[in-house]
Amino acid sequence: MLSSNDYIQFLQTQDTNYAILLLLGGLVAVQLMRWQGKQVTLPAVPIWFLILIAFFLPLSRILTEPLWYDETFSVVTSRLSYEGLLTVLLSDVHTPTHYTLLHIWIHLFGDSQVAVRILSLITGLITVFVSYRLARTFYDEHLASWSALLVAVSPMLIHYSAETRYPIFLLFSVLVALLAIRENWKIKSVLVAVPAWWHITAIPYCLCLIWYDRHNTTLRQKMVTLLLSGVFVPLALMQAGDVVNGFWLKLRFPLEHLIMNFAIRQNEGVILLIPLIGALTILSFKYQRYVLLIWGVPMAIWIVSALIVPVYLFRTLMASVVLMLIFSTPLLLRRNTMAFIIVLMLSSYVMYFTGTPQVRFLDALDYCQDTDYIVPTATGITMYFLYHSDKPVYTYGINTNSQFLNEPSKKVLQFTRPPSTGVGCYIMQKNDETQASELIFTAGKRNVASLWAGQFTTLEVFHG
C-alpha cells in the first residue's frame, strides 16, 4: 500500500506513471474493440426513477456529514451583508455568482446544514433531467435515459449535489449551454457564457462551445459570448494578488483531476481507475466525434498552468467527466463494453464510499469544552469554527491554509487576535501546507490532543 506522502507524490508529479497506465488502458480498449460482443437491447429508464436516485443518493451526506471548511467559508461569507460579501470576495478566488445566490437563499431559508445544501441538491436533480434532454439530442429515448442514469449514479454528482459550493452549478450551466446549442435556443449566446460566471477557469468551456457551434453563429454572436464570459476576469486579476502559493495551485497533470472526479474521495484505489479511464477515452473516440468538448478544457487549463500561472483544475473538470459519460453511452449497446462500463462505475462507486471524507474537525470541540474561546490558526479552520461553534472564535491573524485575507476582509469577518485573559483552545491544522506550528509551540501551549482529520491532515489542539 502507498503511504499518504507517496500517494500525493504519485498524483502530483508522476506524469510518466500516468502515461504508462493510460497506455495499458488503451491496449485494453483495442482488445475490447476487436472482441465482437453481442448487441444489447436496453429498455427505457423512467425519468422519475432517475430523479429519485439523484435525490436519495446524496441524502446521507447532506444529513450526516458536517459542513467542511470550504462549505463554511461559503456560508459564513454569504450570510454577511452584500457589501461585506463583496469585500471578502476580493480575498477569494471565486466569482460572486454562487455567493450571491447563496446569500439570497440563506436570507429566505436560513443557514442550517440541510438548508444550505438543499440548493445544490435541487440543482443536481435538474442536472440529471438536463443530461437526459441533452443525450436525447444525440440518441433515442432509451439510450438517452441510460445516459442520464450513468450521470445520476456517478460519485461526482452524488458528492457535489450535497456540497454547498459552485461545482454543481458550473456543471449544470455547461450542460444547459450545450443543450441550447443542440436545440438552437435564441439565448444560446448568453447561456454559453454562463459557465465562466461560476468560476473563471470555466472560460475554456465557453471557448470549446463557441468552436462547437461556430458554423451556426454569426461573428456578432461569438463576440457577445466572449465579452459576457469575460465579465469577471478583472475581478479575478484583483483577487490573484491575495491568493498566492496555494497548495491546490501546483502544476498537476489534468488527467489526475478528470480521474479523481470518478471517485471524488481521496482513495489509493483511484490509481486502479487510470487504465480504465484510458480505455474509456480510446473507446469513446470510436463512438463519438466530440472529443474536444471532453479533452479541450483539461488540456487548455494544463497549457495555461504550464506557461502562464498555475490554476485550479479539479472541480472545474466535473463537466468534462459528465460529457465523457454522455458521449460514451453507446458503449452500453455491446455486451463486452457494457461490462466495462459497469466495472468502471462500480469501482468508482465503491471508492467514493470507502475513501477519506472531507475534513471534519468537530471532534476537536470536545477538547474545548472547559475553555473560554477558540483560536484556530488557519483561515479555513477559523471559518469552520465560526460556523460550528457557539464559543467566541478568534485567530492569530496568520493566514495559512493557502489563503491570505486582506485587512478589509478580516475586519468584515471580525477576525481578531485572542484576548490576553481567559483560557483559549488553540486549534492548528498540521499538514504540508501549514507553517504555523512554531508559533503555537513558542507560545508555550500544552499539547492536549492530536486528531487525524482526513485528507492527510492532523489536527492539534492546545490549551493556554
Which among 295, 328, 354 is the end of a domain? 354
Q: What is the pLDDT of residues 93-146, one digit of tens each?
A: 789 999 999 999 999 999 999 999 999 999 999 999 999 999 999 999 999 999
Question: pLDDT tens, 15-46?
Answer: 677 778 878 888 888 888 888 788 888 899 99
381 belongs to a structural domain:
yes
Do residues 136 and 61 share a domain? Answer: yes
> Which residue type does 113 have?
Q
Is 0.75 topped by the overall pTM? Answer: yes
pLDDT of residue 450: 55
Q: Is the pLDDT of residue 447 over 70?
A: no
Q: Which three cell numbers stand for residue 299?
A: 488540456
**Structural domain boundaries enclosing 378:** 362-463
Domain count, the chain: 2
Residues 374 and 331 in one domain: no
Pair (342, 366) in one structural domain: no
For residues 362 and 55, the answer to whether their CB atoms sit within 8 Å is no
Same domain, 62 and 138: yes
Q: Which residue has the higher pLDDT, 382 or 404?
A: 382
Confidence of residue 431 (pLDDT cuts 50, 70, 90): low
Residues 239 and 290 in one domain: yes
154 lies in some domain: yes
21 falls within a domain: yes
CB atoms within 10 A of CB 438: 8
Cell 472529443 sits on residue = 291
Tallying the residues shown for the chain, one arrives at 464
Final residue of a structural domain among 307, 331, 354: 354
435 and 317 inside one domain: no
Q: Residue 41 domain-assigned?
A: yes
Q: At what angle do helices 270-287 and 254-263 cross, to 10 degrees?
A: 100
In sequence order, which residues have a C-beta less than 8 Å from that of residue 176 and are 6 or more positions away?
130, 191, 194
Residue 243 within a domain: yes
**pLDDT tens-digit readout, 291-325:** 778 888 888 877 777 777 667 667 888 999 999 99
Q: Are residues 333 and 368 in the same domain?
A: no
Verify that 237 and 376 share a domain, yes or no: no
- Domain co-membership, 319 together with 449: no
| Assigned domain for 304 exists | yes
Q: Are residues 325 and 280 in the same domain?
A: yes
Give residues with Cβ within 8 angstroms of 229, minimum separation 6. 192, 193, 195, 196, 197, 203, 206
Of 330, 354, 378, the last residue of a domain is: 354
pLDDT at 446 over 80: no
Q: Are strands 424-430 and 457-463 parallel, antiparallel or unpaired?
A: antiparallel
The reply to whether 182 and 268 lie within a common domain is yes
User: Does 339 reside within a domain?
Assistant: yes
Residue 250 is given by DSSP the state S
Cell of 412: 468584515
Among the listed residues 20, 57, 78, 462, the one whose alpha carbon sits nearest the alpha carbon of residue 278: 20
Whether residue 313 sits in one domain with residue 403? no
- Whole-angstrom Cα distance, residue 144 to residue 326? 8
Closest CA to 430 of 361, 374, 363, 370: 361
Quick check: 353 and 57 in contact, CB under 8 A? no
Residue 102 lies in a domain: no
DSSP H/E element including 376: strand 373-376
Report H helices in 264-290: 270-287
